[in-house]
Structures are given as structure tokens and as C-alpha cells.
Chains A and B, each alone.
Chain A
Amino acid sequence: MGSKASENARSVEIPFRVTKSSHLVVRAKINNKGPFNFIVDTGAPVCFFTLEAGKTIGLTADENGWCILDKFTLEGGLISEKHRVKLETPFQLVGMNGMALGGMELHGLIGYDLLARHKIEIDVSNETMVWTPLDFTPKFPLGVSGKSTPGSLDALGAFMKTIGTFTGKKQDLPPELRGSLGIIIKSGIGELVVLETLKDSPGNIAGILPGDLILKLNDVQTNSLEQLLQVYRSIPAGKKVKIEILRKRQILTLELSPGKGL
């Protein structure tokens, strides 16, 4: 029981993202630089960091392609010191990045030699992992001590290798950020009644008042918070929106320009 409790105390919650190609990606900083995107890959014997990404932070490999990272920090705060990684670009990453299949640039793989030192709980529905350090030092994997790295066992490796040469597709454009109106809705009553507007917010400036009932956004009827959020979800700062409200039996239409910030 005591050991369980101390084990839990050392647990680190690590957020991750599922890529469009169904890979689990954890962000990591190397020597406090980054973040870089790593696939969590039980099919990889060791950790890999691409040559290209290594170059951007001045890493160099020894004659066998190894590089010792002084500090390897996973998002969430798990730190490994003096961790040895292969500084090379696994062929499936060439393909994935070349064709922008992941929806993000990928910089490496986290493999067995780091994974096996932890109990790793993965919850895809929540996009969180919990890593708990174990008192366990895995045996160094066979066949990777020299140059003959078997690489990762990506199921689509052969395919990736084939398409790796077609590096035509660009990574996705950076995302836009939804704008903010500063309108607070009374929660839990079903109807969209304005509770208040934040000081100097677009909603405040446009004259929206507490008690106003929101009927439509950009001519779409909004009967619930879910519907309102659905209509409003892709409107960035600066892009004008039209709001129809009911105030004292009068329907008013107002135009607002969403602001920046959360």
C-alpha cells in the first residue's frame, strides 16, 4: 500500500494529441528548447530525434548516430536526464512530414528504452497519459547498438517509404483563433439570457444588456448554449457577427466585432 502511494505520488500526467494519422503525439523539450512532437511508439526500440530538428538546436551525433540529451522534458513535466537518443530521421517520418499526413510536423519517436521505465496509462478519449516511474531498468534492446538500427515498426512503414519521395504537400496553415465577445450567459436555464457583459468587451460596447434574450447569431436560430457555441465556434477576432436579441418585447439586431483573447 505504502509503495503504491509513493508510486502514485511520482505519477506525471502527460497530455498528448491524436494526429490525423492516428498516432499518439507527446510534446517534449530538449535542453529547454522546443517543443518538439514525438510519437509514442512501443514499436520503436529506442528514442529517435530527426536530424533536421537536431540541427536546429545544435545537436550532433557520435559515429554511431547516438546523441546524449542533457535534459529531455515531456509536456506535463516528466524529466529524463542524460538520455541517449538516435539522431536520425526514421523513414516513416520522412513520409509523414513530406505528405503532411499527421497534420503537424513530427520530430521523433519515443521508444521502448524510455517507455519501459514507466507504467504508462493511455486514455485516448481524454488525450492524457499518466506515466509512473518504475524501479526497473530495461535491458538495452538487441540490434540497435551499432549502425544497424531496425528502426520503428510502423505498420505503414513500407507505404511511407514509398511516398517519402513525394514531398509536395505543405503542412496545414496555422490555425485561426476564435474571437471573444465578452457576453456571459446565465447558465442552466436553457434559454440564452445574458447575465452580464464584460467591461469594454465587444458585447458591452454594442450595448447588450443583462436580461437580453439572444435569438439568433448570423441569422441562425440559437435556442441553447450548445447551438450558440456551434454557430460561433469558427469566428475569429475582427470578423463581424450579427446578433438578434429580444429586449422588452422588441427585437433588436446588433453588429459586433469580436476581440482577441480568451
Chain B
Amino acid sequence: MRAHLALILKTFLTCLIFCGKIQAEKPISVPLEVLKSGHIVVSVKVNEKGPYRLIFDTGAPVTIISSKIATEAKVVKPSVGFSLFGAGGQANIQSIEMGNLKTLGNSAIVMDHPTIKIMSKFFGPIDGIIGFSTYSRYRISINYKDSSIAFFPSTYIPQDTIKAMIERLTSNSKERETICPSGVWGFEAGKSSTDLADGLDVISVVPGSAAANAGIKKGQRVLSLNNIWTDSVEDLFYAAKKSKLGEKAKFVILENDKAKTIVVTPASGI
């Protein structure tokens, strides 16, 4: 009986994991329109009003909606806001819909962007921009050829860009960031200030370390770590920071003018 239950439970769990995986991988495809200017337009509903045409802009830190949308979709502008951007701060939007994709709890700037107004004259009415604050919540796949953007679920929560920028503008902090590599690798690399060639020289390798065991040797040139160029020591540390503890990391190494791959798994420690 117990074995029977365990089997049911196992099947159930497997199903859950399986379904969860499918769920996680299933994208929602949203059609896009490419303007003759090369800009992408998506059809968007705001608080279930619309649709409106908005520019999809990976170069825009925040989503912007026109005052027309704000009025029609009853977007409440914040009463007190920092009016640095020609707009009264950020407004909360209950829902933004692109095709079958519904994003809840957005914030946006309400603003009649001058460039957007000019574009509307050429390409029909455009009422804002979908920016980082909205799209970064998804893993996205942009395909101009198929005229579509696929949205996959993601766990990313964007920072409040406006707040972060104001803090940056007003702070006088002289704090220096420290780049903290994941794990213990066991080698040192560097280059002279006159050495402008790609990569870094391996200066020393600790015997018995993860790097030594993987075949990193003094005199080799480190070109990249996990696809990140290692042209400076800062770059190398940054790449080692991005590497996840306990996971294999891929170096591209130049040795006797030949490039090769060396895989290192850093040890846990300090």
C-alpha cells in the first residue's frame, strides 16, 4: 500500500515538474509591426482600454504612455512626484496587454513624447513606448523576419530606474565597487599597460588548485571566460563573478598561437 502511494506521489510529482517545465517554456507570441523607420510597433491595451500602438524600445529604460491613454484608461497620475522628466513622476498601471500577454502591476511615465508625436504624423497614431520596466520581466525573442516577439516567463524584477537615476544624480558617494569572484580558482593573470593585445597572461598557477588540475599553466594567454572577453584583470574577475559556484566554467586559452578550451570548476571557499 505504501509503495503504491509512493508511486502515485512520484507520478504526481513528475507530472508537476513536467507540467511546470512546459508551462515555464511556453511562450506567448505577440505580433509586431515594423515601421519604415525601422521601429517596432506593438498593439497594447492599457487597463483593458485600447488597443493603442506603442513603440517597443529596448533602449528605453521606462514605459511611457501618452496623456490620451492616461485619461482614457483612467491611469491615476501620482499627486506628488518628481517632475524632472516633464512628467509628474511615475503612474501605476493595473494591466498592460500585448496580444495574449497580460502584465500586471506596471509603472509608467505619463508624457507626450515629442519624437513620438512627430512619428505619429508619418506612421499613424502612436501613443507611447514599451520600455525596460515592462519587457525585462520576460525572456524575450525578437524576430523581425516573422514579425513577432515571443515572451517567456522570467523571475526578473526590474529596479525602479527613475529612482535609481535620481539617486545616482544626487549622491556624492565615492564608494568603490568590489568585484567578488565565485569560488577559488587558483591562478593569477595580468598584462603590462603597453600590452594592447587581446587577453591576459597567466602569471602564476597554484599547484593542486582547480585551475592547475584543469590544465591552466603559466605563460598561457586567457582570451575569454564563459564568452566574456578577458582583456583586463577587472574583466577576468567580472567573468569569474558571473560564473556560478559549482558549475563548469569555459576558458578560451591561447597557447603556442593555438586557441583551445579549458574547463575549470572552481572550488568552494575564499
A169-211: which residues lie under 8 A (CB-CB) from chain B? Answer: 169, 172-178, 180-185, 187, 195-196, 198-201
A7-59: which residues lie under 8 A (CB-CB) from chain B? Answer: 13-15, 18, 20-24, 27, 29, 32, 35, 39-46
Q: Chain A binding site: helix, strand, loop or mixed by DSSP?
A: loop
Contact partners of A120 in chain B: CB under 8 A: 141-143
Bound Cα distance A177, B233 (Å)? 9
Whether the Cβ atoms of A199 and B208 lie closer than 8 Å is yes
Bound Cα distance A146, B186 (Å)? 55
Whether the Cβ atoms of B38 and A116 lie closer than 8 Å is yes
Please tell me if A238 contacts chain B, counting CB pairs below 8 Å: no
Whether the Cβ atoms of B58 and A262 lie closer than 8 Å is no
Total number of B residues with any Cβ neighbor in A under 8 Å: 84
Bound Cα distance A142, B207 (Å)? 60
Q: Mark B154-188, 1 if CB is under 8 A from A, else 0.
A: 11101101001100110000101111110011111
Bound Cα distance A130, B168 (Å)? 31
Q: Mark B43-64, 1 if CB is under 8 A from A, else 0.
A: 0000000000001111111101
- Whether A153 contacts B55 in the complex (CB less than 8 A), given A15-B226, A101-B168, A177-B179, comes out as yes
Please tell me if A252 contacts chain B, counting CB pairs below 8 Å: no
Please tell me if A81 contacts chain B, counting CB pairs below 8 Å: no
Contact partners of B132 in chain A: CB under 8 A: 22-24, 124
Bound Cα distance A57, B119 (Å)? 35
Taking the closest CB of chain A, its distance from the CB of B201, in whole angstroms, is 13
Whether the Cβ atoms of B39 and A153 lie closer than 8 Å is yes
Whether the Cβ atoms of B37 and A150 lie closer than 8 Å is yes
Taking the closest CB of chain B, its distance from the CB of A134, in whole angstroms, is 5
Taking the closest CB of chain A, its distance from the CB of B242, in whole angstroms, is 7
Please tell me if B115 contacts chain A, counting CB pairs below 8 Å: yes
Bound Cα distance A23, B60 (Å)? 7
Taking the closest CB of chain B, its distance from the CB of A239, in whole angstroms, is 10
For B144, give its contact among A101, A115, A174, A233 (CB under 8 Å).
Answer: A115
Whether the Cβ atoms of A23 and B180 lie closer than 8 Å is no
For A20, give its contact among B38, B142, B164, B174 (CB under 8 Å).
Answer: B164
Q: Mark A69-97, 1 if CB is under 8 A from B, else 0.
A: 00000011100000000000000000000
Q: Mark A140-168, 1 if CB is under 8 A from B, else 0.
A: 01111000001011111111000000000
Please tell me if A247 contacts chain B, counting CB pairs below 8 Å: no
For A178, give its contact among B159, B181, B188, B236 (CB under 8 Å).
Answer: B181
Contact partners of B228 in chain A: CB under 8 A: 15, 75
- Whether A125 contacts B115 in the complex (CB less than 8 A), given A142-B37, A185-B268, comes out as no
Most buried by B among A20, A134, A195: A20
Whether the Cβ atoms of A75 and B229 lie closer than 8 Å is yes
Contact partners of B68 in chain A: CB under 8 A: none
Bound Cα distance A183, B268 (Å)? 9
Q: Mark B122-159, 1 if CB is under 8 A from A, else 0.
A: 00000001011100100111111100000000111011
- Please, which residue of chain B has its CB at the minimum distance from the CB of A28? B229
Bound Cα distance A70, B60 (Å)? 29
- Please, which residue of chain A has its CB at the minimum distance from the CB of B240? A262
Please tell me if A261 contacts chain B, counting CB pairs below 8 Å: yes
Contact partners of B184 in chain A: CB under 8 A: 180, 182-184, 198, 262
Contact partners of B191 in chain A: CB under 8 A: none
- Whether A141 contacts B38 in the complex (CB less than 8 A), given A42-B58, A42-B142, A182-B186, comes out as yes
For B129, give its contact among A43, A121, A122 (CB under 8 Å).
Answer: A43
Bound Cα distance A155, B244 (Å)? 34
- Please, which residue of chain B has its CB at the minimum distance from the CB of A241? B270
Contact partners of A4 in chain B: CB under 8 A: none
Taking the closest CB of chain B, its distance from the CB of A128, in whole angstroms, is 8
Contact partners of B267 in chain A: CB under 8 A: 184, 195
Taking the closest CB of chain A, its distance from the CB of B85, in whole angstroms, is 5
Instruction: Give 5 nearest A-B pairs by CB, closest first.
Output: A41-B59, A261-B188, A112-B38, A141-B38, A155-B60
Residues of B within 8 A of A (CB): 34, 36-40, 55-62, 64, 84-86, 109, 113-116, 119, 129, 131-133, 136, 139-145, 154-156, 158-159, 161, 164-165, 168-169, 174, 176-181, 184-189, 198, 203-204, 206-209, 211, 226-229, 231, 233-234, 236-237, 240, 242, 246, 266-270
Q: A123-B139, A175-B234, A178-B179 are in contact. List 13 more A-B contacts (CB 8 A).
A: A14-B227, A15-B228, A20-B168, A124-B154, A134-B144, A141-B36, A142-B36, A153-B129, A182-B184, A184-B269, A233-B178, A234-B180, A262-B240
